Amino acid sequence: MTPNFLILFTCAFIPFFVAFIWFHPKCFGGEYWKKVAGLTNEQHNTPIKPIKLAASILLNLLISFGVFIITVHQTHVLALTGPNVDAFKSGTALAFMQEYGENFHTIQHGITHGLFIGLLCFVIPILGYAVIFERKSVKYLLVNAGFWAISLVLMACVISKWGGVPVY
């Protein structure tokens, strides 16, 4: 399978929607987030520049592509062929994809991979490393890890269900 770039681009906006709720003053935003992140009032109230928002969309797009590679296993079969799309017109690759090509395109599969990516493999280890050396609190780790776990689960669910385009 190849990526459905419209879905990947759409998924790049999921962290923004999650952040709108997660960092809302009635949830973790406002004074609590400011204290945990170590922000001054001035830093907290300064608007984000458009170039930084554009950069965050680009970073989220890279995350979407990474989630696609991890979540849509049929991509690995394509990678094994070189990637030679013609290999899917006959032979073993075609037979394999006809039998197994629709497996694991479920919301449950997305939840599994989103949690795996979000909690065990990437987010907690990377944020944990930053927390240790930037001398942030465990609360900072938990707030940010929770945000990314929810974002990645939602992204993985959408990508698992609709993120691949069959080549066979």
Query: 12, 60 in Cβ contact below 8 A?
Result: yes
pLDDT > 80? residue 143: yes
pLDDT of the residue at 111: 94
pLDDT of the residue at 62: 97
Alpha helix (H) residue ranges in the chain: 5-11, 14-22, 30-37, 41-45, 50-71, 74-80, 91-100, 107-115, 123-134, 138-162
18-58 tens-digit pLDDT: 999 999 888 887 788 888 888 888 888 889 999 999 999 99
Distance of alpha carbon 15 from alpha carbon 49, whole angstroms: 17
pLDDT of the residue at 123: 93
Q: What is the pTM of this model?
A: 0.88
Which of 60-64, 107-111, 121-125, 164-168 has maximum average pLDDT? 60-64
Our CA angle for 72, 78, 83, nearest 5°, is: 135
Q: Tokens for 17? A: 């929607």
**What is the separation, in whole angstroms, between the first and last Cα of the chain?**
8
pLDDT of the residue at 167: 74
pLDDT > 80? residue 153: yes
pLDDT of the residue at 87: 80
Specify the higher pLDDT residue, 146 or 119: 146
101-116 tens-digit pLDDT: 888 888 999 999 999 8
